[in-house]
Amino acid sequence: MLSDQKILELETTANNIRMSIIEMLIEAKSGHSAGPLGMADIFTYFYFHALRHDAHRPDWPERDRLVLSNGHICPVYYATLAYAGYFPKEELKTLRKFGSRLQGHPHREWLPFLETSSGPLGSGLSQAAGMALADKIDFGDVTTRRIYAFLSDGELEEGNTWEGVMLAAKYKLHNLTAIVDYNNIQIEGYVENIMPLAPLMEKWKSFNWHVIEVDGHNFTAIDEAVEQAKTIFEKPTVIIAHTIPGKGVDFMEHDYHWHGKPPSPGEGKKALDELRTLGGKIKSEHQ
């Protein structure tokens, strides 16, 4: 289990990452706000606790692999990687600028420490399933490397996703864990209005996946889910993580209009003030 000190460290880092996301978006004057803020806790948990990786050896053969399928939330990915030591934090201010490595969707040729480039929704799970299958072919059921695929709820509307779901179940890819960001928004509205997913757990179960449902902002719950996935050997696992889009910024939370737009300088200042206040509350709650 995570210690209180570790949870404090993770919560503090996630809040700092959220502030960097806002600063990046203000500077870029474009980009996605809600999804990156909502996924900051999960990215923080993986890169600062669960994931086997080494920023000084990004091509380490025994590393776990993390595939971001919904690449438009890359501000949280970039910020997390910078905090984890993959590149200087100062570079975050180049988001979406001409000539920058940090474009609106991650590009592996410019950032070779990424596992994939991402952009077209629905492709990431199939890519991750291919990696997991290759490891099973190479190392059999004794493979210890974990393959993680981060997906959005909206991209579950893409048929390619379900092809990957079927393939992973067919080959019993127990080394594969999918994490679905279930924030219930997409660019044109609320997911359940545009293309209902419910009952989502039952859908994944019917495709022969092990299914876990968690609060995507509770580090203890996330940790328990990820550890449970490692004990399942007869099928792949999906963690359906309920997150709050725009988490930490009151005027953004649960509002789909913030899916694909950045804050203005004034809105950004308000958001940063709120996150700084939240940072103080995090520390006081753990004293």
Q: What is the pLDDT of residue 287?
A: 78
By residue count, the chain amounts to: 287
Q: What is the pLDDT of residue 1?
A: 83
Q: What is the pLDDT of residue 144?
A: 85
CA distance 11 to 279: 8
Q: What is the fold of 4-285?
A: Rossmann fold (3.40.50)
176-182 and 189-190: which strand pairing? unpaired
Q: Which of the residues in the chain have pLDDT under 70? A: none
Instruction: Confirm if 215 and 242 have CB atoms less than 8 A apart.
Output: yes
Helix (H), strand (E) counts: the chain: 10, 7
| Residue 285 burial (CB count, 10 A) | 10
Could you list the beta-strand ranges (E) of 15-130.
65-68
Task: State whether residue 204 is helix, strand or coil.
Answer: helix
Tell me, rounded to whole angstroms, the distance of Cα 178 from its chain centroid.
10
CA distance 242 to 247: 12
Q: What is the pLDDT of residue 24?
A: 98
| Residue 283 burial (CB count, 10 A) | 12
Q: What is the pLDDT of residue 286?
A: 87
Q: What is the pLDDT of residue 120?
A: 87
Residue 243, C-beta contacts closer than 8 angstroms, at least 6 positions apart = 38, 39, 41, 42, 181, 182, 183, 216, 217
Residue 66, C-beta contacts closer than 8 angstroms, at least 6 positions apart = 46, 51, 53, 115, 148, 150
